[in-house]
Amino acid sequence: MGELEDAVMTRVWKWNRPVTVREVLEDLQQERSIAYTTVMTVLDNLHQKGWVRREAEGRAYRYEAVSTRAAYAAALMNDAWSQSDNPAAALVAFFGMMSEEQRHALRDAVRIVQGPEEAQQVDSGSENPGSAPEGDGR
């Protein structure tokens, strides 16, 4: 997504309701000089790419997001990760760039996806808490 597309989508996501070209235009004009037809073209492009759906209202359209900003961010991360020739190394490097707050958010996300019991096992570093790992002679 380009810079202008991102600026438009940011508003669509933030407002979380169907929006008109005019509404987006007026908000964008607080930051930059931009033409109605430019915003209309950007929203049409976002519609063609599947990021927004639109519904006719008179001679214009109302646009709304098809998915959330979080889903978009996840798709970007997945795309970048899948292009790596060494996904494990890419994850280690990515995790190394994270702030403490981001690492806490990651742990929370793992707990949500895996469920509390599985996440506890991952946190403790063993599949079966209290049991010995296979092949250690016990």
Of 113, 114, 112, the residue nearest 127 (C-alpha): 114
- 17 alpha carbon, distance to own chain's centre: 18
Do the beta carbons of residue 65 and residue 9 sit within 8 Å? yes
CA–CA dist 38, 7 (Å, integer): 12
**Mean per-residue pLDDT of the chain:** 85
What is the residue whose two structure tokens read 């950007």? 42
Q: Name which residue leads in pLDDT, 113 or 13.
A: 13
Question: Does the pLDDT of residue 128 top 50, yes or no?
Answer: no
Q: Which residues contact 78 (CB under 8 A, 6 or more apart)?
A: none
**pLDDT tens-digit profile of 25-70?**
999 999 999 999 999 999 999 999 999 999 999 999 999 999 999 9
